[in-house]
Amino acid sequence: LVYDLRPPLLDEHGLLGAIRHLSGTLGGATLTLDAPATLPPLPAAVEVAIYRIAAEAVQNVAKHAGASACTIQVTLGEAALTLRVADDGVGLPSDHAAGVGLLSMRERAAELGGQLIVEPAAGGGTCVIATIPLLSAERRASERVSE
């Protein structure tokens, strides 16, 4: 139950370290992380959402993509944190209906005022992009605590 609330990897290694640990779930595909060397302190809700979205996206790569490579990019802007997970796999079929994993990723982003986009990756494969606004996430988290 505690793991469901906040993954221990976030406390042990921080967001970027926890994302690096996802490479063990990819099977034969190579994981590349493109991110700043460090991140400033982020709202806990943002860390959990970004980590969970990354974990689900990487799990989808391992289960469905047939990819040889997966790139995770984390970008910190002035007002938002963006996660981009792209693979070189088979891509989504044109008649693909969103499964539970994609729906849960969208819900996690939306809960914090963000959005999730799933699109074809350049050169083949799939790209998942989650953008979480930092100020909105802090405000929403503090509103939940005060309720």
- Alpha carbons within 13 angstroms on the beta-carbon side of residue 140 total 17
pLDDT above 60: residue 98? yes
Total domain count, the chain: 1
Distance of CA 53 to the CA centre of its chain: 3
Distance of CA 120 to the CA centre of its chain: 17
Q: Is 14 left (phi over 0), alpha (psi -120 to 50) or beta?
A: left
Are 125 and 87 in contact, with CB atoms under 8 Å apart?
Answer: yes
Q: How far apart are CA 107 and CA 93, in angstroms?
A: 22
Q: What is the CATH number of the domain that holds 30?
A: 3.30.565.10
**% pLDDT > 70, the chain:** 85
The letter for the amino acid at 66 is G
Range of the domain at 107: 2-146
Q: What is the chain's mean pLDDT, rounded?
A: 86
Q: Is 23 left (phi over 0), alpha (psi -120 to 50) or beta?
A: alpha
Higher-pLDDT residue of 6 and 49 is 49
pLDDT above 90: residue 83? yes
